[in-house]
Amino acid sequence: MDGGNQTIALRWFGVAGRRSRAQERDALVLARVADGDASALTELYERYAGPLFAFLYRLAGDRGTAEEILQDTLLAVWRSAGTYRSRSTVSTWLFGVARRQAHNRLRGLPPPLPAEPPDGAEVVDGLPGPEELAVGGDRVQAALARLPLAQREVVVLAFLNDLSHREIADVLGIPVGTVKSRLHHARTTLRGCLDERMA
């Protein structure tokens, strides 16, 4: 092994070690939550507020609903922290809880649209369509609105939260193959949107 490879290997082990220690700390904090320590819930929230809220915001499409689901998620964590069995990382477990709460709230609802339509966007029947949003407003949200919830959550976890296929499969409780096929279908749908816009 030459010097360059050695440095890369040491860096890799360093990153892996830091990640492992962070996971251990998360597990300890969650154990304190399970014991009824409210400050531990705050600590856990401060660590994961950003990624969890971003995930829920992209799933729900508006801030109010995302905040409600986030509250539901924290409540579920507070009540069921004792059920965590270290079979996955705390992060994966938290995303799994958040995803279940999102499903409870969003199941059966129409796909999300941004709460406030952009100024000047063409409004048909009182609501802007995905095309109008794509032209003048939140283009990403308009694209996500095209996807059914099952595909939307896979896409958001993959591209927003940068989770691997394996991690997404753990969060959603589905096989890795299903993650890949949902991504494939989502890509086909989104490409269709892009082609329509180009045409």
Partner 1 sequence: MNEWPELSGIHDGIPPPPGPEIVRTVLARAAHDRVETPTRPRPYRAWVLLTMEARLLHPAIWLASALIMVAGVGFTLARSGASEFVLALAVPLIAAAGVAGSYGPENDRAFELVAVTPTSPRVILLARVTLVFGYDLILALLSSAVLALLNATPLGLTSLITTWLGPMATLSALSLLLSVCWNPEGATGVALALWSVHALAFAGVPVLEGLQGLWTTGSVTVVLAPALTLAAVTAVGKGEPIRRARATHRL
Contact residues: partner 1, CB under 8 A:
38, 41-42, 45-46, 49-50, 52-54, 57-58, 63, 67, 70-71, 74-75, 78-79, 138-141, 143, 155-156, 158-160, 162, 187, 190-191, 193-194
Residue closer to partner 1, measured from CB, 77 or 106: 77
Cβ 6 to partner 1 shortest distance, Å: 28
Cβ 56 to partner 1 shortest distance, Å: 9
Residue closer to partner 1, measured from CB, 109 or 194: 194
Amino acid found at 88: S
Cβ 142 to partner 1 shortest distance, Å: 9
Cβ 66 to partner 1 shortest distance, Å: 8
DSSP state of 83: G
Residue 117 sits at the vertex; the CA angle it makes with 188 and 63, to the nearest 5 degrees, is 80
d(CA 19, CA 16): 5
Cβ 124 to partner 1 shortest distance, Å: 22
Burial class of residue 23 (count of CB atoms within 10 Å of its CB; 0-12, 13-18, 19+):
middle
Residue closer to partner 1, measured from CB, 28 or 38: 38
Question: Residue 51: helix, strand or coil by DSSP?
Answer: helix
Residue closer to partner 1, measured from CB, 20 or 39: 39
Residue 159 sits at the vertex; the CA angle it makes with 153 and 164, to the nearest 5 degrees, is 85
Amino acid found at 166: R
Residue closer to partner 1, measured from CB, 9 or 115: 115
Backbone angles phi, psi at 115, to 5 degrees: -60, -40
Cβ 16 to partner 1 shortest distance, Å: 19
- Of the candidates 197, 59, 192, 190, the residue with the CA atom closest to the CA atom of residue 134: 197
Residue closer to partner 1, measured from CB, 6 or 188: 188
Half-sphere exposure of 27 (CA within 13 A, CB side): 12
